[in-house]
Amino acid sequence: EPEVTQTPSHQVTQMGQEVILRCVPISNHLYFYWYRQILGQKVEFLVSFYNNEISEKSEIFDDQFSVERPDGSNFTLKIRSTKLEDSAMYFCASRQGARREQFFGPGTRLTVL
């Protein structure tokens, strides 16, 4: 069964550094998402991406964040200058065209020191 994959599983970085989180969505899916979950809190929507552009972004997704689909398979989230409060689990998700369910990857745990 096809799955969403994410790398790395855990990323440790120093405050102010740039990080890139990588995702490979399910191959025939058209809509791509990033969510995050701060420890002990709920999963929050960050951004949705369709047809090579951002469809919607939350207020969390400020100028420090960007997303890209550099080729036909990868979907990346970049944080330009990390802050302590960016420490969280970041989930990538994808969705097939007309279907409503989203399929999530295993997540990348980002720790900012």
Side chain identity at 92, as an amino acid letter? Answer: C
Instruction: Indicate the residue among 76 and 106 with the shorter CB distance to another protein.
Output: 106
Please pick, from the candidates 29, 61, 75, 105, the single residue that binds another protein as defined by CB under 8 A. Answer: 105
Least spacing, CB of residue 46 vs another protein, in Å: 10
Q: Decide: is 70 part of the binding site for another protein (CB under 8 A).
A: no
Bridge pairing between strands 10-13 and 108-112: parallel
Q: Taking a C-beta distance cutoff of 8 angstroms, is the pair 102, 93 a contact? A: yes
Neighbouring residues of 30: CB distance < 8 A, sequence distance ≥ 6: 50, 51, 95, 96, 97
Which residues make up the interface to another protein (CB under 8 A)? 6, 31, 33, 35, 41-45, 48, 50-51, 55-56, 91, 93, 95, 100-107
